[in-house]
Structure 1
């Protein structure tokens, strides 16, 4: 798909109910045009992962997600051999009286016994959107490995040879900044920091994503979320949480933010007992 400008990308994202500001749209447009990974950093729930999903939808490309975590290594991200199937194949060959060791070795390291993990899938799938989610949760060693893969999108499998992407995937790397990601990886990418949306944009997002939401409810939820983000909570709500909270309120028939109903559903927006206690204790649910 030829996207000729950031404004056009804003329009396309809007068609899929993702309301991007010009800064984010410009960064994403440049990443697409320049063939560079897009590094998105910001608080959890501000729309980093959702942007990758929406790009996959509008580009008509499958989203391939690599969820990062402590201890993630190259094998878990690249490929693995299906040892159980290899063993069954060897037993079947033995039962059939096949004893040629060279032949058997060649057969068990055939492509059909290879399990493609996200990075290999992204290299082999044309086109694709590769989401490397929460890179800040992975170890330094994995960062260095990822940098090598992103440099040329080439993966070498000793038993099969080298696999190279004919068309590199669109890459979105996200970080919640639980730790600093090394400069080497950031330099490989185009960087953008995602803020919590402005009040008006959050109201627009709620109304767009939840068709049954009244403007009054969206306005009151967005205003309350704004106060929560200024209250020094352990984990203030992101857009994802305000959407969940509003959906919970709508499920219970709310058309405005009734304080009692808001308190009963607060667990949809806040995930720490201390935060819930602070919000209730400081009267932050009052929209008067």
Structure 2
């Protein structure tokens, strides 16, 4: 799910005061959340605790931070994690070229006071602030949203470093001392669970598992994010994706793939699914050839027939009620 540009009226909005207000806040950013996720987010905001979101890729974990920043009018600072991520990329580093220029200029001016020069070149002006340190800086609109995305891709030493940040909202720079946040940032951490995150870090966070949505919620997401999709097409797309998630596939499609598929079908001017259309467009939904080969052909036709039967039965039940 992707968030659009938020109305100016929502800028610098106060934090929600209840779970219901949190649900409304997310809905204002076109994020359809269940109550458990909204409750976890409300408590994290209310008690100044990081929120750790786990779940499969493409279920909307990252989007929570994007929508939160947009609807509250806060700056979003995103730290994309990867193997080998270090403090220089995540927190800060010194601007060595500027320091060297300052040293050369001091030497040219005949300034030989090494202690004073060292103090000058290790001042804040020479510090390059990365997302974690930027998140500790005060801002007129309020603390920013710090998104630490896909933490499971980073190495364990980086997790250990985060303990100081998430416990005391501070970073220690040896040359400058400890830099503390006046107000804690709003921190969202995500993980696709490719490895387990250490308990010490989890204890500092509130936790929520973001699962694949049920059919009704996924249909609502599709209506909000792909409003151009005809109602019949949207219902068949959701039913087909829901059926795929019950298959033994290498990578099940997430909500992001559902939206991609629906938008692709709209561009092809499709009003409903057909076996031929499914076969031609499976690459927007499934990302591994083995999965595509497993579904293409007779299996796609079988699933589509099953989906249409279920939808027809549901319509009859609604008419009977």
The answer to whether TM tops 0.5 is yes
Q: Which moved more, 1:122-131 or 1:28-37?
A: 122-131
Alignment of 1:125-274 (within 5 A): 125-126=138-139, 127-274=143-290
Cα shift readout 1:74-120 (whole Å, capped 9, x = no counterpart) = 33221001112222232333344443323322222121221111110
CA shift digits 1:4-43 (9 cap, x unpaired): 2111111121111000111111111111111111111111
How does the TM-score come out when normalised to structure 2? 0.85
TM-score where L is the length of structure 1? 0.94
Tell me the CA shift for residue 281 of structure 1. Answer: 4.6
Return 277-286 or 267-276, whichever deviates more: 277-286
Shift of 1:155: 1.2
Ranges in structure 1 where 5+ consecutive residues have no aligned partner? none
The structure number with the bigger radius of gyration is: 2
- Aligned match of 1:38: 51
Structure 1 contact 37–188 (Cα < 8 Å) conserved: yes
1:22 aligned partner = 35
Q: Is the 8 A contact 1:36 1:190 kept in 2?
A: yes
Alignment counterpart, residue 118 of structure 1, candidates 126, 131, 137: 131
Closer, same or farther: CA 120–282 of 1 in aligned 2, 3 Å: farther
* Structure 1 residue aligned with 2:81: 68
CA distance in 1: counterparts of 2:94 and 2:71, whole angstroms: 34
Matched, 1:91 2:104: yes
Contact 2:278 2:300 in 1 (8 A): no
Q: Is the 8 A contact 1:228 1:284 kept in 2?
A: no
**Which deviates further from its counterpart, 102-111 or 26-35?**
102-111
Q: Which runs of 5+ in 2 are unaligned?
A: 1-13, 306-321
State whether residues 133 and 171 of structure 2, in contact with CA within 8 Å, keep that contact through their aligned partners in structure 1.
yes
- CA RMSD, Structure 1 to Structure 2 (Å): 1.6
Distance (whole Å) between structure 2 residues aligned to residue 254 and residue 281 of structure 1: 19
